[in-house]
């Protein structure tokens, strides 16, 4: 069965786990008009594992008509080096609206103050050279 990869750019924290794991699928450089995700470039199970390692919830996948976004995990918050807080396990975030399709089970919170999608990380820490 084939796989469709969904990508919510507004949630991407630019951790690089996708491009580092499968650069043939998640391509940093593409020609104009080409999609940056090529799911036919690797086996579906390998792509699923990469999507499941996305800390921000920007990536999900569908097989057939079922979208897979969240997992059952222990609740935890990790401070990433020079990056966001990585939240897993359905930790409730009070007073915040989640956009359509955003994971409530795992997400990244801005730590640098530069995100244009606060309180969520949008990868701006790379642009501003955040260290912390």
What is the predicted pLDDT for the residue at 99? 84
Instruction: Determine the Cα–Cα distance for residues 92 and 81; give it in Å rounded to an integer.
Output: 23
What is the predicted pLDDT for the residue at 123? 93
Query: What one-character-per-residue DSSP string does 65-86 give?
Result: TEEE-------EEEE-TTS-EE
pLDDT in tens, 66-105: 999 998 999 999 999 999 999 999 999 999 998 888 899 9
Average pLDDT, the chain: 91
CA dist 90 to 29, 48, 79, 102, 104, Å?
Answer: 33, 20, 17, 12, 6
Residue 111 pLDDT more than 90?
A: yes
Phi, psi of 37 (to 5 degrees): -110, 125
User: What would the mean pLDDT of 50-59 be, rounded to a whole number?
Assistant: 94
| Strands 66-68 and 59-63, sheet pairing | antiparallel
What is the predicted pLDDT for the residue at 1? 63
CATH 3.30.70.20 assigned to 4-68: yes
What is the predicted pLDDT for the residue at 33? 67
Residue 32 pLDDT more than 70?
A: no
In the chain, the percentage of residues whose pLDDT exceeds 90 is 77
Instruction: Give the domain ranges of the chain.
Output: 4-68
């Amino acid at each position: 069965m084939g796989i469709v990869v969904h990508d919510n750019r507004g949630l991407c924290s630019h951790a690089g786990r996708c491009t580092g794991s499968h650069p043939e699928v998640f391509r940093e450089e593409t020609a104009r008009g080409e999609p940056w995700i090529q799911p036919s470039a690797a086996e579906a199970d390998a792509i699923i594992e990469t999507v499941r390692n996305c800390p921000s919830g920007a990536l999900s996948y569908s097989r057939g008509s079922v979208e897979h976004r969240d997992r059952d995990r222990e609740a935890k918050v990790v401070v990433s080096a020079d990056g966001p807080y990585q939240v897993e396990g359905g930790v409730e975030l009070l007073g915040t609206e989640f956009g359509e399709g955003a994971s409530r089970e795992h997400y990244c919170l801005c730590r640098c103050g530069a995100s244009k999608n606060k309180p969520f990380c949008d990868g701006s820490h790379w642009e501003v050279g955040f260290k912390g």
